[in-house]
Structure 1
């Protein structure tokens, strides 16, 4: 470590992490006449923004409210989300030339379908307001000193020390390692004796192993609109069969509410009743085989995969009460017991993080460490799929900036 301590006290704050939260924090601080320095570990800012939504960036959701966020404290996100609303997000980006277009379920994307346009807004504003961004700068250590913090960081292969009066931890969560994700935020919190809510991959595909795997593998590529639920939540969206299990929006959503060893339930025909369809059809053509009706509801491949568990070759007129009940249970209460999930490399976000009890809900400042703030994904606030996590990132960045 270089012996000389670099004096960065001319910055009002040092922000660790150039993702959605860190970038918004720097820009909002600039609007207030404050100077910040972003230290970003990788060679460019906004890495996860750039890959989100297949490179299109679903940057908020029209229906975002505290109800779509998971946390040990269900009320914690209310303050930040009320200080920076969805309308604020929309207005902010419109001001800088990005108009949103709604896709499904309130998801808002740039009209250009280019995530880089989102990142460019922040990069341009930081340049205009002389907010510094240093890439290839990895913070190794933070120590509390009399007038703030001492930071050890590596930049371009050299080690440095710097001091700052305020520090913002916006270093993200554990997904995705190849994008530069680390546990830095969690380690920092632990170092300062802060509690951590248990972490796990969230918005992540689920795996099936053992004797059931070949059944899912044969259906790889099939997508079906379903209702997926457990005791904690319910979602109606598509599921996607894969050679290792299940993915698709509904599965990613329920994964945030799933725990190892539990089952999930799937209604394969959520907006219709299979018994009503059978009764109606057999009035018209009682000799029609059940498999023929099932094949009209799904792809033939999926109908064939279901057929070993159904009286598929029986005609509709000859189905008895017990068989009808079994059909209904299979279609409307299809039980799946995942073996696990695909881990942080395939997860959209991390569940859990720095415990909300350690932070002020109004400012996101650490109660035990004045001048230290935590925002974005490293905090125990996890949104649904569909732009909610970006809304939390923008909101937390804005809130922190007000107190720098």
Structure 2
């Protein structure tokens, strides 16, 4: 069978690329190493799949050149995603927190079903249990070496799409294949790291964080680059929760960041108001109006929680206010790719045509989705990029 393109990877980008190519009357072959397509789609959003975000803009992405996204999001908008799943699968999106859109059914498998149906209807081919070992240039385009059912086969095509994702999560078949191949063909690759990942605390403070494991607190987490207001979660190894995952994309080892544990209130004002009423409550009692008893007891390690507000010195008041509103954290590291939602870095955007995602230097090679140096925030943004990149590539096959 002669195909218009071979697509490596049956995830979000690869599936969208295949069906969009099919809707244009083209034939593709999707090569997937797992026993089913859409592995990361199926586990996203706790198995519910937040398939896009209504607030998507280039400001929601980390990249050396985020302006690269202008072309993609001009050609494939959030409305296009919403209409695609509605028209082809009857899926109605329901908005949850912060613009996240989930299928009304709350079933990620319904998203995958849209693609499997369309692939069948547009006669796109799919090989499961197929590992791509190498891609080499030949006289007719590219030779793609694959292992299927224990046998090695060489496929030939003028166009090859790398939609094989990034390094998270190994048990779902993640690998650096797209990055290694890009380097082999001379494309620049931006240094990679886990992103949207929990952060670890070690040393003398480790037991303090572990003692609070399971406690979630709405906070503002910030550094010199960015600020997020969402829940943080204390864990046995350090910190997680939406705000921490978001900040992790803007954090590097050795850096500190700050947490405002009470972003909706001014503790300075709360203390003044308490003083005006006689200041009979202790600092612990005042804090307990906003935190769990367990959290207040833990704060007692370095705050005078048994001291009455009326007795607070200026130095004590400053210590309490700084500790709550400017809680400094210096993580030891992160939980790695197996706990990361996505990968930061990837094939440099400067190496790709922003209108088609084809390599500028290597005609016929395309890179989309997580393999590219485009990393979205938590909450459906990475899916919007995956759908958009799959669509762009399909138009050029």
TM-score category, normalised to shorter length? over 0.9
**Which residue pairs with 2:14 in the alignment?**
22
Q: CA deviation at 1:285?
A: 4.0
Does the aligned pair in 2 maintain the 1:261–1:337 contact within 8 Å?
A: yes
**Matched residues in 2 for 1:294 and 1:79: separation?**
49
Structure 2 matches for 1:2-401, cutoff 5 A? 8=1, 10-95=2-87, 96-401=89-394
Does the aligned pair in 2 maintain the 1:282–1:288 contact within 8 Å?
A: no
1:235-292 CA-to-partner distances (Å, cap 9, x unmatched) read 0000000010000000000000000000010000011100101111232241111111
Residue range with higher mean Cα deviation, 174-183 or 77-86: 77-86
Does the aligned pair in 2 maintain the 1:29–1:402 contact within 8 Å?
A: yes
Q: CA deviation at 1:147?
A: 2.1
1:91-125 CA-to-partner distances (Å, cap 9, x unmatched) read 11111210001110000000000000000000010
Q: TM-score, normalised by structure 2?
A: 0.99
For the residue of structure 2 that corresponds to 1:173, the secondary structure is: coil
Does the aligned pair in 2 maintain the 1:173–1:350 contact within 8 Å?
A: yes
**Matched residues in 2 for 1:129 and 1:362: separation?**
24
**Matched residues in 2 for 1:12 and 1:211: separation?**
59
**Matched residues in 1 for 2:11 and 2:62: separation?**
21
1:130-188 CA-to-partner distances (Å, cap 9, x unmatched) read 00111111111111112211111001111101101111000000000000001010011
**Matched residues in 1 for 2:161 and 2:340: separation?**
24
For the residue of structure 1 that corresponds to 2:10, the secondary structure is: coil
**Matched residues in 2 for 1:347 and 1:286: separation?**
46
Q: CA deviation at 1:320?
A: 1.8
**Matched residues in 2 for 1:82 and 1:342: separation?**
35
Q: Which runs of 5 or more structure 2 residues have no equivalent in the other structure?
A: none
**Matched residues in 2 for 1:281 and 1:107: separation?**
39
**Which residue pairs with 1:5 in the alignment?**
none
**Matched residues in 2 for 1:346 and 1:81: separation?**
28
For the residue of structure 2 that corresponds to 1:77, the secondary structure is: helix
Q: CA deviation at 1:82?
A: 1.4
